[in-house]
Structure 1
């Protein structure tokens, strides 16, 4: 059964932080535990409230993944690891396109091969690269735009 995509609700905040944490631990293998804790503090202490968040809920009305948008830029897209490969990320991107149009952009950690491949399969192409991430840390970002 396909999940329902709903706007962020404060009651789901801690669950989304946990989804973020579980997904990052599984997919961002280039980060140290200290790095993950640094970013977790950012997510826990406000990052989710600084962007437009849409959440996919399963049949039990529990969050399984979420996307964070700032205009046409995808600032975050995370799916609980047990739901990886089930189309949630694709549905969230399609939802973002329905809301914002097809000119979406996203920055992806260059070392996150799975995310890079996911976005390229979806039709995103690389338009640039930065040596550091948005926090100035030495994790290169690939700048991607949707082109289909």
Structure 2
């Protein structure tokens, strides 16, 4: 798998990655919240955020990761590529880029993501009752365990 920085030409493919990943793992979102978040992702996040993209041999995006310093802002893997090491490879890349202990906030109701991060050596260091927009989706604050 190739990992590279996203380009403006990736926007549609990355939105598809986001959409399939969220539909597969975020069954707790209301339909209205899904539409609102999707609009924000498409209009604000994807076009304006530096993202690392994991691509197959043909250059097709399979997943992406957003990183600010040592904070993982986003990590999404296309539904068809789940379980194939894409998330693991992107997270390993983030560790190299960040050169330090990574942190991430993850929806508590997304058991698959919580399990993934725990397997990747993260531990819970806090919890918020709502997401960053004040919606009733609790966030777990995770930090890479020492040596993780």
Say whether the fold is shared (TM-score over 0.5): yes
Please give the secondary structure, in 2, of the residue aligned with 1:95: helix
Question: Is 1:94 paired with 2:100?
Answer: no
Equivalence for 1:72? 70
Report the CA distance between 1:24 and its aligned residue.
Answer: 0.3
Can you give the 5+ residue segments of structure 1 that lack an aligned partner in the other structure?
Answer: none
Alignment of structure 1 residues 27-66 onto 2, 5 Å: 27-66=25-64
Report the CA distance between 1:49 and its aligned residue.
Answer: 3.8
Report the CA distance between 1:19 and its aligned residue.
Answer: 0.8
Equivalence for 1:127? 125
Conserved 8 A contact 2:11-2:47? no
Moved over 4 A (4+): none
Please give the secondary structure, in 1, of the residue aligned with 2:66: strand
Report the CA distance between 1:50 and its aligned residue.
Answer: 4.2
Please give the secondary structure, in 1, of the residue aligned with 2:36: helix
Equivalence for 1:24? 22
Question: Is 1:10 paired with 2:25?
Answer: no
Question: Between Structure 1 and Structure 2, how many residues are aligned?
Answer: 146
CA RMSD, 1 decimal? 0.9
> What is the distance in 2 between the residues matched to 1:112 and 1:138?
13
Can you give the 5+ residue segments of structure 2 that lack an aligned partner in the other structure?
Answer: none
Conserved 8 A contact 1:8-1:54? yes
> What is the distance in 2 between the residues matched to 1:68 and 1:18?
16
> What is the distance in 2 between the residues matched to 1:85 and 1:102?
26
